[in-house]
Every structure is written in structure tokens, then in C-alpha cells.
Amino acid sequence: MKDLKNTRVMVAAALLAALTCVATMVIKIPTPAMGYVHIGDSFVLLSGFLLGPLTGGLAAGTGSMLSDLLGGYAPWAPGTFIIKTATAFVAALVFEALGKRTGFSPAARSIISGIAGESVMLTGYFVYNIIMLAVFNAGGEAVTLAAAALQSIADIPFNGAQGIIGICLSTALIPVLEKLPLRPYTGLSA
């Protein structure tokens, strides 16, 4: 039975990684710091909620990274992997902690956990965009650290909107999907 469940978890992780990738690529609204707004964060959060911190985080990070690699944003792929893995990881930890307390509906758990996870995303991309613009010259022209920070600040509202959309969509889906038997057996992600 353990092997069957682990197979189910692996398939679910692959499916959520693919859904994250596709949802990230379907709608791309460009932002000032050369990023884009998308609906993929809903699956980033769902990956963490459904599969736990470790497995869900890796599924979310992999799907998001693949989207960057396939969509022409390869320089952002390493940062995206780390940021989206951390986003799902933190959201899953909070989601699980709230699940152990009484009085939190799946929707409330999703909203609070989503805010925690998306805060990681906002901070992560703010820092990573500064590094990419100022250090690696990703914009094609030399940019000072201050100019890179200003350009990254301009991206915060767009990333925030993306996070809010992700929280709303994951909150709408989690009451139904949470009932699926997907949690891994390992103590690290259960």
C-alpha cells in the first residue's frame, strides 16, 4: 500500500508541476522589471497545500522554473526555482500549522497561508530582480544598484496582483482538492 501511495504522490507532483508550468505560460502580462504576471501561483500554492512543504515545494519550483526555461526567461529560472519552492514550502507549513488548530476553514487556511507564501515570492523577486539587473546586466544595459532597486520596486504591485490572484484561485479550489489522498508518507512533507 505504501508503494501505491508513493506512486500516487509522484504522479500528483508531476501533474502539479505541469499544471504550474502551463498556468504560468498561458497568460503572460509583462511587467517593468522584465518579468510577467500570470495565474501559475495558484498551482504553486496548491502544490504546497496538497503535497506538503517538501514535495509540494519541489513540484511548484520545478513547474515554475520550466515555464521560465520554455518561455524565454532562462536567466530567471534558477531564482524562480528557489523562490517558488520557498513560496510553496512556507505556504504549506502555515497551512499545516493552521490545520492542527480548530476554527480554521480550508478557505481561511488557504488565505492566511497564501499570504505567507506570496510574501516570500514578493521579497524573493524583489531581491532577485535587483541582482539580475545590477549584477548580471539582464536588461541589456548597465544599471546601478539604486536604479535596479527602483525598477524592482515598480514590479512589486504586479507581483502583488499575481499573488492575490493565486490566493483567490487556490482558495476556490482547495475545499474540493484537499480531500484527495496525496500526502507523502515521509515525515519531512506530511
**φ, ψ dihedrals at 36, nearest 5°:** -160, 150
Name residues whose C-beta falls within 8 Å of residue 154's C-beta, 6 or more positions apart in sequence.
Answer: 31, 32, 33
Which pLDDT score is estimated for 140? 65
Which pLDDT score is estimated for 185? 41
Q: Could you report the per-residue pLDDT of 41-83, keeping only the tens digit for each?
A: 999 999 999 999 999 999 999 999 999 999 988 999 999 999 9
**φ, ψ dihedrals at 29, nearest 5°:** -110, 110
Which pLDDT score is estimated for 96? 93
Q: Could you report the per-residue pLDDT of 27-36, keeping only the tens digit for each?
A: 888 877 677 8
pTM equals 0.89
The more confident residue out of 20 and 152 is 20
Angstrom distance (rounded) from CA 164 to CA 39: 10
13 — pLDDT class (breaks 50, 70, 90): very high
Rounded to a whole number of angstroms, the distance between the first and last alpha carbons of the chain is 17
2 — pLDDT class (breaks 50, 70, 90): low
Fold held by 2-26+39-177: Arp2/3 complex 21 kDa subunit ARPC3 (1.10.1760)
186 pLDDT above the threshold of 50: no
Quote the Cα angle for 27-29-35, to 5°. Answer: 115
9 — pLDDT class (breaks 50, 70, 90): confident
Helix-then-strand count for the chain, H and E: 6, 2
Per-residue b or e along 164-182, where b marks 16 or more CB atoms closer than 10 Å to that residue's CB: ebbbebbbebbeeebeeeb
Q: Tell me if 33 sits within 8 A of 156, measured CB to CB.
A: no
Q: Where are the domains of the chain?
A: 2-26+39-177
Packing angle, helices 77-99 and 106-130, rounded to 10? 150
98 pLDDT above the threshold of 90: yes
Amino acid code (one letter) for 184? P
Which pLDDT score is estimated for 4? 55
Name residues whose C-beta falls within 8 Å of residue 72's C-beta, 6 or more positions apart in sequence.
Answer: none
Q: Could you report the per-residue pLDDT of 111-166, keeping only the tens digit for each?
A: 999 999 999 999 999 999 899 888 877 666 778 888 889 888 988 999 999 999 99
